[in-house]
Chain A
Amino acid sequence: MAALPKRIIKETERLVSDPVPGITAIPSEENLRYFEVTIEGPSSSPYAEGEFKLELYLPDDYPMCAPKVRFLTRIYHPNIDKLGRICLDVLKDNWSPALQIRTVLLSIQALLGAPNPDDPLANDVAEDWKKDEKRAIEVAREWTAKYAVKS
C-alpha cells in the first residue's frame, strides 16, 4: 500500500488530540484508512443515552471523494437502512474535499437529532414516521435501549 497521505495523518492526529465531544474515531492498526467510530445519541432525541457503533473507510481517492460510513449498531431511523447505510447529502452529491472526517461525523450526529422522513432511505421506517410520529419515536427509543447499550 502507498504511504498514507499527509491529509489523513493530520486529520487522524487532530481527531485524537482534539476529539469531538460525544464522538470517537479510532483508526485500525492494520489499516489506517479504516476507523472504528462511536457516536452518542443527541440528548434531546429518542437516541439519547445510546452509543452507536459505526465503521468509516477512506477510499483511495479521499478527499476527492467522500468517506464510506455505515452504522454497525441497529438503529430505527428514517434515513438509515437495515444495513446501516446512511442517506446524507454530504456523503453523496454535496461532498467537497474541504469537508473532513469530523464534519461528516458531526453531520451524522445532527441527523440523529433531526430525522428527515421526506428524504428516506429505509422506506418502511419513513412511512411509519410520517403516519405516526409519536409511535415511531417510541420504537426508536426502544431500539436504542435494546441495541445501543453503552459498553
Chain B
Amino acid sequence: MSDSDGNISEDLEFDYDDDEEVSFSEFTADENEIDLVNKFEEEVYIKKDLKKEAPSANRLQARAKYKAWSLEEYINHFFISKCKKLQSMKLPNCDFDDILIMLHAKNWGEESVINGCYDNPTKFFEDCGLPLRKRNNTFEVVKNFLCPICCSDDDIQTETYSLTCNHKFCVACYTRYVVGLVHEGKLITCPECKLSIPHGDVQKFVNVYNEQQQSGSSVLNSPFKFVVDDASKAFVKGSPIKTTIDLSSFELLKYAAKRNIDSNPGNFKYCPAPDCMHLVELLSPAKDGRTESENGKTMDEENIYKVPIVTCPKSHEFCYSCQFENHLPLPCWLVKAWIKKCNDDSETANWIDAHTQSCPKCDSQIEKNGGCNHMTCSTCAYHFCWICLEEWAKHGHQYYACNRFDPDTVNAAQKYKKSKRLTLKRYIFFYSRFSVHETSMEGDSKTLKKVNEKMTKYMNEESKRRNNAEVSSTNSLSWIDVQFLHDAIRQLTNGRKTLKWTYVFAFYLSKSNFSEIFEQMQDYLNKTVEDLSKIFEEIYAKKKDSSNLIMQNKLDIINLSNLVAQRQEKMIEFAFTGLEQKLLRLEEEKPESSLEPVQTQTQGQTKRKQR
C-alpha cells in the first residue's frame, strides 16, 4: 500500500485491476492444485463472474476511513502549529521557546496559555518554570570548576551549562541528566530549581549524547569521564530555537506526543510493530457490521469476518481493532480467543520446545537457526522436516503432508485415550505449527537482514569497481536490478504471517470437505514459503560469492515470491468466501461481549480515567 504519502486518507476498499497473471517458468502449479482451485472456484462463485470480481484479500478488510500519521506530523499538527499561532498573537514577553514551554506545561491547551499570560503572568511564568527576567542560558568553559553532581575537579577547563538561575553543572552531568529524563515526555527542569530547560537545549544534549554513542565512548557507561569536543559548537550562548530547525524531530517532543496520546488516545492507535512510533487515526467507524448491530439492525453475518487492516506510514500493516499484526484470514474475535487460550494453556504447551529438536535418526541435538523448516542433521546428514520430523524427501514430490491433523489416525493410535487428551493434543498440534512459524519469522528476518547486508556490500563494491575500471554500465548491476530482493523479502514475511494464522483458523474450523480444501491450500502455501525460505538460507550459509548466488537465483526468487503472494491471496479469499457462504464453519461462536465497537472501547477508557 502507499508508503509515500501518509497524509492521504485511504479508503481501504479500492478497486482492483485485473491482476496480471504471473507466468511461471518452473514453478507452475501442479495439476492437482489447478483441479482443486477450479473446483473451489466453481463451487464458490456459482453465480459470480470470477474474472470481474478478482479475488483479493481486501474483500476481507472492513471498510474504514483512516489517516496514517507519522509521529512528526502529529507533533507539527498538535504542538508546533499551536505554538506558531500563539506566536503570531504576540503574547507579552514571550518568544517561541517560552510559548513551547508554556504549551507543554499546560498539556498543549492554547486557552490556558492565553489566559495565564494575561491573568497573572508572574504566577504563570513561575508555574511553567520560566524566568521573570530575560532568559540567560549559558554554555561556558569554566576554570577549576567543581561540579556539584559529579564532584569532579580533575579538568582545569570544564564545559558547563546553566539556566537563568545560574545553577551550573558540567555538560557531562547535564547530558546524563537530560537523557535520563527525556523518555518521560515531561518538561525537564534545572536539577537544582524549577526552571525549565528549553526544548532546543534539551535536543542539544540529546545530540551530544548520540554523538558520543556513535563514536563509541558512552556517557552512561563511563560515568563522569566524558570529554565534550563538540559541545561548544552545539551550544551557542543563550541561543533561542531557530524556527528553521525541524522541531518535529526533537526527542522531547516525540515523547511528549507519546505521553499525550497515551493519556488521551481518541481515535489514535499506535502501530504495534516493534520500534515503530507511527500512528493511525480512524476517521469513520469501521463498517464491519458492528455499527449496524448497535443500531438494532440484524448483524450482517458476512461482515463480522471482516478485519480492519490499516497501514502505518512505515507500511506496517496491522489490525486497528486488535492492534495486532495483520492476522488475516482469522476474524478478530478468534484472535482474542486464541491469545487467551495460549495464555491459559501455556503451561501445558510449554513442553513444546520450538527452538531445539533432536535429530529423528541419530538423536543428536539440533538448533533451529533460520526460518526454513528443511533441516539437515550436522551429525548424520539426515534431511528431515522440522514440523513433522519425517524425511524431507517425502515432502518433495507429494505436497506437505505435515500440515494436516487427521483425527482418524490419532484415534486409531490412541483409542484408549480420553477425548480430553485428544482436545489437548489437537490444540498442541496447531499451536506447535503456529509457533514454529512464529519462530521461523524471527529466523527469516535474521537471515534476510544478513542477505540484504551481503547484497548491499556487493553493490557497493560493484559500484566502486565500476568507477575504477569504467566498465560499461550494461555489464554491471544497478540498484533497480536488486529491488526484487526487497520485494521477495517482504513477500516471504507476509506469506509466513498469513500461514501462521491459517493454523489458528484451522484449529477453529469444523471438519468438512471444504476444510480439507483449506488444508490443502495451506499445504501449497507452506511448501512455497519453505522453498523461498530455503533459497535465502542457502545464500546466507554461503561464505563466498553469495551475491552471485543471489543473481543466479533471481528468477527462482521472483517466481516463488509471486507464487507465495498468489497462494496467500487465494487462501485468504477462500477462507472469507467459505465463511461468508457458510461452506466453512467455525467451532467457536462469536461472543456477544466482543461485539463492542472500537468507539465504545475508547470512550470506556476515558470514562475510567475520569472516575
Contacts and interface: CB of A to CB of B under 8 A. Distances in A.
Interface of A: 5-7, 9-11, 61, 63-65, 96-98
A67 to B, nearest CB: 14
Residue from B152, B220, B223, B224 whose CB has the most chain A CB atoms within 10 Å: B223
Contact of B150 (A7, A65, A96): A7
A104 B223 CA distance: 22
B604 interface: no
Given A5-B224, A6-B224, A61-B223, A97 B173 contact: yes
A6 B177 contact: no
A89 to B, nearest CB: 14
Contacts of B149: 7, 63, 97-98
B224 A97 contact: no
Nearest to B174: A97
B454 interface: no
B65 interface: no
B176 interface: yes
B109 interface: no
Contact of A10 (B151, B220, B223): B151
A96 B151 contact: no
A45 B446 CA distance: 64
A96 B192 contact: yes
A98 B220 CA distance: 18
Nearest to A2: B223
Contacts of A64: 176-177, 180
Contacts of B180: 61, 64-65
Nearest to A65: B180
Interface in B170-213: 173, 176-177, 180, 191-192
B150 A5 contact: yes
B266 interface: no
Given A9-B151, A98-B167, 14 more contacts: A5-B224, A6-B150, A6-B152, A7-B149, A7-B150, A7-B152, A7-B224, A63-B149, A64-B177, A65-B180, A96-B191, A96-B192, A97-B191, A98-B192
Contacts of B173: 97
Contacts of B176: 64
Contacts of A9: 151
B407 interface: no
25 contacts: A5-B150, A5-B223, A6-B150, A6-B152, A6-B224, A7-B149, A7-B150, A7-B151, A7-B152, A9-B151, A10-B151, A61-B180, A61-B220, A61-B223, A63-B149, A64-B177, A64-B180, A96-B191, A96-B192, A97-B173, A97-B177, A97-B191, A98-B167, A98-B169, A98-B191
Interface of B is mostly: loop
B238 interface: no
A11 B149 CA distance: 11
A138 to B, nearest CB: 36
A5 to B, nearest CB: 6
Contacts of B177: 64, 97
A121 B60 CA distance: 51
A80 to B, nearest CB: 26
B210 to A, nearest CB: 18
B206 to A, nearest CB: 15
A121 B192 CA distance: 27
A104 B169 CA distance: 20
**Closest CB pairs A-B (n = 4):** A98-B191, A7-B151, A98-B192, A10-B151
Contacts of B192: 96, 98
Contacts of A7: 149-152, 224
B272 to A, nearest CB: 29
Contacts of A97: 149, 173, 177, 191
Residue from B151, B176, B180, B220 whose CB has the most chain A CB atoms within 10 Å: B151
A147 to B, nearest CB: 37
A56 to B, nearest CB: 18
A108 B191 CA distance: 20
A119 B177 CA distance: 27
A64 B219 CA distance: 12
A5 B149 CA distance: 11
Interface string B133-174: 000000000000000111110000000000000010100010
B153 to A, nearest CB: 8
A94 to B, nearest CB: 10
Given A64-B176, A64-B177, A98 B148 contact: yes
A96 B176 CA distance: 12
Nearest to A100: B148
A145 B191 CA distance: 40
B515 to A, nearest CB: 55
Nearest to B189: A96
A30 B131 CA distance: 46
Interface string B454-482: 00000000000000000000000000000
Nearest to A62: B223
A64 B177 CA distance: 6
Contacts of A11: 151
A5 B180 CA distance: 19
A105 B191 CA distance: 19
Contacts of A98: 148-149, 167, 169, 191-192
A7 B147 CA distance: 9
A130 B150 CA distance: 42
A10 B154 CA distance: 14
Contacts of B167: 98
A125 to B, nearest CB: 26
B146 to A, nearest CB: 9
A4 B191 CA distance: 22
A78 to B, nearest CB: 24
Contacts of A65: 180
A98 B150 CA distance: 10
Contact of A6 (B151, B169, B191): B151
Contacts of B223: 5, 61
A10 B191 CA distance: 19
A97 B180 CA distance: 11
B189 to A, nearest CB: 8
Nearest to B222: A2
A10 B169 CA distance: 16
A9 B151 CA distance: 9
